[in-house]
Amino acid sequence: MSNFDVSEYLINNIDKSNKTMVILRNKEYLSLSTCHIDNKKLFVYLDEVHTRGSDLKLSLIAHSIVTLGRNMNKDKLMQAVMRLRDLDFKQLIVI
């Protein structure tokens, strides 16, 4: 599966009610609160609109990928990277 395929899948399958959802490999959708998967094994996708105010409990060894654009300012960047609440421990950001 290419990066394009992944992004197309995410765009076409985002939950319209803005609930935090988990998509399993068998394409089953679950709310995060009913998901049985350990958070260390989850991939989390947040777009800019849903970054501010989100507070997901992420693994202490979580890695983050952050994309930068021409109109990115410091406030938006900090909102994105600080989703990793334990960044001063073992969490990692890749820009």
Both structure tokens of 92: 């990692």
Residue spans per domain, the chain = 1-37, 39-95
Q: What is the pLDDT of residue 91?
A: 67
Alpha-carbon distance of 93 to 95, in angstroms, equals 6
Ranges 20-24, 44-48, 65-69, 86-90: which has the least confidence: 86-90
Q: Phi/psi of residue 30, each to 5°? A: -135, 150
Cα atoms found within 13 Å of the Cα of residue 48, Cβ hemisphere only:
9
The pTM for the full model equals 0.56
Instruction: Give tens-digit pLDDT for 6-61.
Output: 766 776 666 677 777 787 878 787 888 888 888 788 877 777 776 777 777 777 77
Beta pairing, strands 29-31 & 63-65: unpaired
